[in-house]
Amino acid sequence: MIGFTRIEGLPDASRPLLEVSALKVVIRGAASEVRPVDGVSFSIAAGETFALLGESGCGKSMTALALNRLLPDAAGIEAGEVRLAGEDLLRLPESSMRAVRGGRIGMIFQEPSTSLNPVMTVGAQIGEALVLHRGLRGEAARTEAQRLLEAVGIPGATQRLDDYPFQFSGGMKQRVMIAMALAGRPELLIADEPTTALDVTIQAQVLDLLVRLQAERGMAMLLITHDLGVVARMAHRVGVMYAGELVETGPRQAFFRTPLHPYARKLFAALPEGARRGSMLDAPVGSVPALDKAFTGCRFADRCPQAFDRCDDEAPDWHRMGAQAVRCHLYEGVSVPRPLERAEPGKALADTRRNTASLLEVRDLAVHFPVRKGLFRRVVGQVRAVDGVSLALVPGRTLALVGESGCGKTTVGKAILQLIEPTEGSILLDGEDQAGLSHGALLPMRRTVQMVFQDPFASLNPRLRVGEIIEEGMISLGLAGDAASRRRTVDALLDRIGLSSAMRWRYPHEFSGGQRQRIAIARALAVSPKVIVCDEPTSALDVSVQAQLLNLMRELQEERGLAYLFITHNLGVVDYLADEVAVMYLGRIVEQGPAERVLRSPAHPYTRALLDAVPKVTAGMGEALPSISAAVDLPSPLDPPAGCHFHPRCPRASDICRASYPVEQSMGGGQTARCHWPEPPTSARGDGFRADSTRR
């Protein structure tokens, strides 16, 4: 077991609250055994945050479930100890564990929408925990539930107790999950990817909330994530997990200054940043190996650029390097790695593309949804999801459309493809307006413009094989040819996206998330489009799979001259991939221009707030965090604020901001902003967004 390192500023850090020793989990199937957790050891002190970091499929969530003894029916704990304040939880009877789960150990699950009961009010769901773990009922339970909602920052807590989960935004639902986890006054809080699906401002609010509540209550926290920026913001100590085992542990600052294991260094090299724009990300090749086999050597050897013969034949032991510990043959008393060299802004390759003629142009696009009420379903209002958006897409270039969830980004993408009928505006493809055309007349546009959706599992037909999915577009658009030519096209596309042509016979559920997103890209490429609308294609991917996908997208753009509309709230990806940026707020573009100017010298206060909310990797080495200036939830597009829509959240709002919507102002260099008090331009590499930011 790796020894516990004292963390300054933590209460009684020499005596761990949680001690996990040689934990092993096995899932027994008909033909094989899978070992997702294979000898994991770590400890956490009261008041400390231990971050468990690694790719999807490496065993992080299964470790958390094992601590709570919430494993699937086919799984079991084969060996090890889990001690909470000295008591071995694995030896407790199930009746005693019911008092531990939700009581001494609280858990925030990854997806609140599937964790909250849709037919119970949030007050009733919090009340269940209060009855079970604290014996509170009736008015006492309601008062305590209200206090918990107020503690996690939900306004109007008294009224919101009677609301159902669907009446809350994604960030609000995550806060309700936190309130439920805190209801039993836990000693240990397990947070499993608590911010994966949240945009940057809501993510910052949730992370700050967890830090505050931890400081108030002295809880230990196990934070499970694949986001290095979140680790930098939250953790006291870090454990890197790979293929069922820990491969590195250490204090946060030492880890971010000098990661030791080749896998950890590859994770840093895969981060998208502006300084790497124009070059390929150094992502680890391949994926986490299947855990249904016995390993004789290092589990990372097949993907490690520094592997040698011994790595294939002998599993490495732990080696201590100061406050850090690493499981690697390279550290047997001879190798001392250098600190990571941070890429500095300004080293990106020069842009040699000359074509500036627009292929697709959107002018004054509006999408309004009627709100109907009453017996006769009369229209009583309009949700202005998109309200006068203008964009231009150029061959070989990427326009990033960024903003918080609910601002209308996805609606813009779907309206461009006429998947949602526009209310007003023009969509010009090669100069011809596509708005309002019949289904048959839209077929040429559907061939030219394709879309990659956010959730590939939901957008791929589970009943079709991958080959059939890719062929489907060719057949429906009349580009099929004969069966042999279609087969050759599918095989070539699968090879091009890094999959085997033999995989054409598999179904979507047989692929990982990153592979499914590659298949979605292959389906879009099958009809030889010129424009691809990418709707959050990397939002659910870990950093290494994200890097592989971004490399593929860059290669395809250079080969085929594709124009991308990249819809995202991941500003690290925007900094790496985008040529132009449009910032959207409540259905309107509030700032637009070259990525270099918008990200380095933002003019609009909203853009500045988004950039400040991005977790920075350099925070892991002690950098101060900026204050979040937009910590108020997004107003409803059904009733947007008068004047400038951003003024209730703006630190510089004045009377004119409350009275009138600002006109567009030119900031020079192609940058525009809709603000009464825009920030003056600074140097291209000013004190704005830094290249070391990472994904949420």
**C-alpha pair distances (Å), 595 with each of 198, 343, 480, 504, 672:** 23, 18, 39, 38, 12
pLDDT surpassing 60 at residue 7: no
Mean pLDDT of the chain: 87
More reliable by pLDDT, 139 or 347: 139
The average pLDDT across 78-92 equals 94
More reliable by pLDDT, 662 or 371: 662
The band of 353, judged by pLDDT with boundaries at 50, 70 and 90, is very low
Tell me the C-alpha distance between 601 and 200, whole Å: 19
Check residue 625 and give its pLDDT: 61
Check residue 105 and give its pLDDT: 95
The band of 630, judged by pLDDT with boundaries at 50, 70 and 90, is low
The band of 288, judged by pLDDT with boundaries at 50, 70 and 90, is confident
Check residue 694 and give its pLDDT: 36
Asked whether the beta carbons of 680 and 553 are under 8 A apart, the reply is: no
Asked whether the beta carbons of 249 and 43 are under 8 A apart, the reply is: no
Question: What pTM does this model have?
Answer: 0.84
Strands in 328-466 per DSSP E: 360-373, 378-393, 398-402, 424-429, 432-433, 449-452
The average pLDDT across 8-19 equals 63
Three-state DSSP string of 184-227: CCCCEEEEECCCCCCCHHHHHHHHHHHHHHHHHHCCEEEEEECC
The average pLDDT across 424-433 equals 94
pLDDT tens-digit readout, 564-585: 999 998 898 999 999 999 999 9
pLDDT surpassing 50 at residue 692: no
Q: Does domain 393-578 have CATH number 3.40.50.12280?
A: no
Check residue 543 and give its pLDDT: 86
Asked whether the beta carbons of 145 and 161 are under 8 A apart, the reply is: yes
Check residue 266 and give its pLDDT: 93
For the domain 18-104+186-331, what is the CATH code? 3.40.50.300
List the single range of 75-79, 214-218, 400-404, 603-607 with lowest mean pLDDT: 214-218
Check residue 574 and give its pLDDT: 94
Cα angle 561, 562, 567 (rounded to 5 degrees) comes to 150
Q: Who's near 143: CB < 8 A, 6+ residues apart? A: none
pLDDT surpassing 60 at residue 134: yes
Tell me the C-alpha distance between 282 and 267, whole Å: 9
Asked whether the beta carbons of 471 and 481 are under 8 A apart, the reply is: no
pLDDT surpassing 50 at residue 693: no
| Residue 323 structure tokens | 């406050």
| Residue 587 structure tokens | 């259905």
Tell me the C-alpha distance between 380 and 369, whole Å: 11
Residue ranges of the chain that CATH labels 3.40.50.300: 18-104+186-331, 393-578
pLDDT surpassing 90 at residue 325: yes
Check residue 340 and give its pLDDT: 67
More reliable by pLDDT, 404 or 480: 404
Neighbours of 379 (CB within 10 A): 9
Question: Torsions phi, psi of 81, nearest 5?
Answer: -135, 145
The band of 226, judged by pLDDT with boundaries at 50, 70 and 90, is confident
| Residue 208 structure tokens | 């700050």
The band of 343, judged by pLDDT with boundaries at 50, 70 and 90, is low
Amino acid at 691: A
Helix/strand number for the chain, H first, E second: 23, 24
CA-nearest of 90, 78, 74 to 27 is 74
More reliable by pLDDT, 155 or 524: 524
The band of 687, judged by pLDDT with boundaries at 50, 70 and 90, is very low
Tell me the C-alpha distance between 128 and 286, whole Å: 45
| Percent of the chain whose pLDDT exceeds 90 | 57
Check residue 355 and give its pLDDT: 55
pLDDT surpassing 70 at residue 639: yes
Check residue 213 and give its pLDDT: 87
pLDDT surpassing 80 at residue 629: no
Nearest-10 Cα torsion for 664, 666, 669, 670: 30
In terms of DSSP H, where are the helices of 526-678?
Answer: 543-560, 571-577, 595-600, 605-613, 655-659
Tell me the C-alpha distance between 520 and 454, whole Å: 10
List the single range of 147-156, 225-234, 459-468 with lowest mean pLDDT: 147-156
DSSP track, 265-302: HHHHHT---GGGTTS---PPSS-PPPSSS---S-TTGG
CA-nearest of 285, 289, 287, 332 to 310 is 332
Nearest-10 Cα torsion for 71, 74, 77, 82: 10
Neighbours of 341 (CB within 10 A): 6
Check residue 347 and give its pLDDT: 39
| Percent of the chain whose pLDDT exceeds 70 | 90
pLDDT surpassing 80 at residue 338: no
**For 315, which DSSP code?**
P
Q: What is the CA radius of gyration of the chain?
A: 26
Q: Is 55 exposed, middle or buried (0-12, 13-18, 19+ CB in 10 A)?
A: buried
More reliable by pLDDT, 72 or 394: 394
Tell me the C-alpha distance between 585 and 606, whole Å: 8
